[in-house]
Amino acid sequence: MFDILVYLYETYYRPDACPDTAALVKKLAAVGFPEDDISEALDWLTGLARSAGDSQPEAVASTGFRVYAAREISALGTPAIGFIQFLESAALLSSCQREIVLERALAVQESPLPLDKLRVIVLMMLWSQGTEPDMLMFDELLLSDDDSAARLLH
C-alpha cells in the first residue's frame, strides 16, 4: 500500500490531478501494483479525505499538549510519537494536522508503526491538503533512520 501512496505523491502534483477512481485503478494495475494493494490504498485515501474534510481549520494555535491513550502508544510506538511531537514542536504540523496523521496511522493497523511509514502518512496528509512541506520537514521526511544520507521514496 505504501508504495502506491508514494507513487501517487510522486506522479500527481495535487490530489485533484489524479484521475477518477476507475481510471486510477487501471493505471495502477498497468504499472504493476497488485489489486489488493490498490484497493487498500484507495480505501486508506478515502479515509484520509474523510478525516481532512471532518477537521475544522484552527482559529487559534493550540497551546496545550496531547496525551496519548494506551492504545495509541501501543499501536504507534515511542519513535513514531516522538517524531510527531518533534514535527508539532517545530511548528511543522498543527494540532489539527497531527490528529489527521494519528487517525490515518492507526488505520494502518501495524504495531508499532515504522517511522518510514509514518513519514509517508505525514507526506500524504500534506499532499491531500495541497501543502508543500517546507525544507526542514522535507529533509525529516526523506532522511533515512540509520544515517543522515538522503534516501529515495521508493
- Omega before 133 within 30 of 0, i.e. cis: no
pLDDT: is 14 or 154 the higher one?
A: 14
- Is 127 a member of any domain? yes
- Is 129 a member of any domain? yes
- Is 153 a member of any domain? no
pLDDT in tens, 95-133: 999 999 999 999 998 899 999 999 999 999 998 888 877
State residue 151's pLDDT score: 42
Q: How many domains does the chain have?
A: 1
pLDDT in tens, 26-36: 999 999 999 99
Structural domain of residue 113, as residue ranges? 2-54+66-142
- Is 37 a member of any domain? yes
Q: Give the number of other Cβ atoms within 10 Å of residue 41's Cβ.
A: 22
State residue 33's pLDDT score: 96
- Is 87 a member of any domain? yes
Read off the pLDDT band of 54 (50, 70, 90): low
For the residues of 2-63, what is the DSSP string, one character each? Answer: HHHHHHHHHH-SSGGGSPPHHHHHHHHHHHT--HHHHHHHHHHHHHHHHHHHHPPPPSS---
State residue 57's pLDDT score: 54
Read off the pLDDT band of 146 (50, 70, 90): low
- Is 35 a member of any domain? yes
- Is 137 a member of any domain? yes
What is the pTM (predicted TM-score) of this model? 0.81
